[in-house]
Amino acid sequence: MITKRDKLLNGWPRALLGCAIALLFVFPFYWMLVTSLKPNGDTMRYPPEFFPWPPSITSFQEAWTRVPMLRFAINSVIVTGGVLAMQMPLVSMAAYAFSQFDFKGKKALFTLCLCAMMIPGQVTFLPNFLTMKQLNWLDTYWALIVPFATSAYGIFLLRQAFMQVPKDLINAARLDGASHLQVIFHVLVPIAKPVITTVALFSFISHWNSYFWPLVATNSDAVRTLPVALAMLRDGDSRQSWGTLMAGNMTVVMPVLAVFLLFQKNLVKSFSQGAMK
């Protein structure tokens, strides 16, 4: 017979392993924060300080004055928000069409959608660049938003989620006079909220951290985003001030961590639902 004491003893190895794994993932972020709160002269001190006191914000001040960090942060918010505002409705409508309708060429179109997930961005950036040039959209927000107005990965995930919704529920909404858009946004979207949150979170992280396309498609600081600012900090730093670089990194990472912590329950729920199905 297994006693309560035996259960506790058997649970200790798992708890220790979980703590070790958590520490492994958390420590780089902690060290980034600690380095950003040190004066630049103390970042390479040996032995290293794990708890600098008093903390200094001089690295943040230097990072925000060396490059127009506020302008870059506003640009990142506009670009990422614009991508999500266009992407989520289009992805939802495409997933609804693939999951609920039967039409000629449906399998071929969905196969093309899946193939699009396998094409790396390095292959498509040149056609996108030439298209933006023809439209005179280079060095504008349009060039950073419109090419990412949809997502093959998001269509695939939402299609799978919408297919799990009972057909009777959708038919009942249609009998009550609901249009297709009402079915999508008032019936399917609330049911598939965890999956939609996951798609939005992945898209947010991808475009918030995007570096290559904003660098290629822009020429001025007026529309460039935060990852480009980090490269400017590094290139303009002849003394390699690690405190300044880590302060810039913290500016980019903190919104991502905040969004992840805010929506982690929906993320876990989405994966657990997928595992059960």
pLDDT, tens digit (0-9, with 9 covering 90-100), for 101-153:
888 888 999 999 888 888 887 888 899 999 999 999 999 999 999 999 999 99
Tracing tokens 């909404």 back to the chain, one arrives at 173
Classify 218 in phi/psi space as left (phi over 0), alpha (psi -120 to 50) or beta.
beta
- Sign of the CA dihedral 60, 64, 67, 69? positive
The radius of gyration computed from the CA coordinates of the chain, to the nearest angstrom, equals: 24
Q: What is the pLDDT of residue 275?
A: 42
pLDDT digit string, tens, across residues 143-162: 999 999 999 999 999 999 99
For 67-236, CATH gives 1.10.3720.10
Residue 212 contacts residue 231 (beta carbons within 8 Å): no
Residue 253 contacts residue 272 (beta carbons within 8 Å): no
Which contacts (CB < 8 Å, 24+ apart) does range 254-263 have?
Answer: 255/208, 256/204, 256/205, 256/208, 256/209, 257/29, 259/201, 259/204, 259/205, 260/201, 260/205, 263/197, 263/201
The pTM of this model reads 0.84
Domains of the chain, by residue range, sit at: 67-236
Q: What distance in Å separates the CA atoms of residue 187 and residue 181, rounded to the nearest whole number?
A: 10
**Range from 96-100, 135-139, 243-247 carrying the lowest mean pLDDT:** 243-247
Can you state the percent helix, strand and coil of the chain, rounding each to 5? 75, 0, 25
Token pair, residue 216, equals: 């290629």
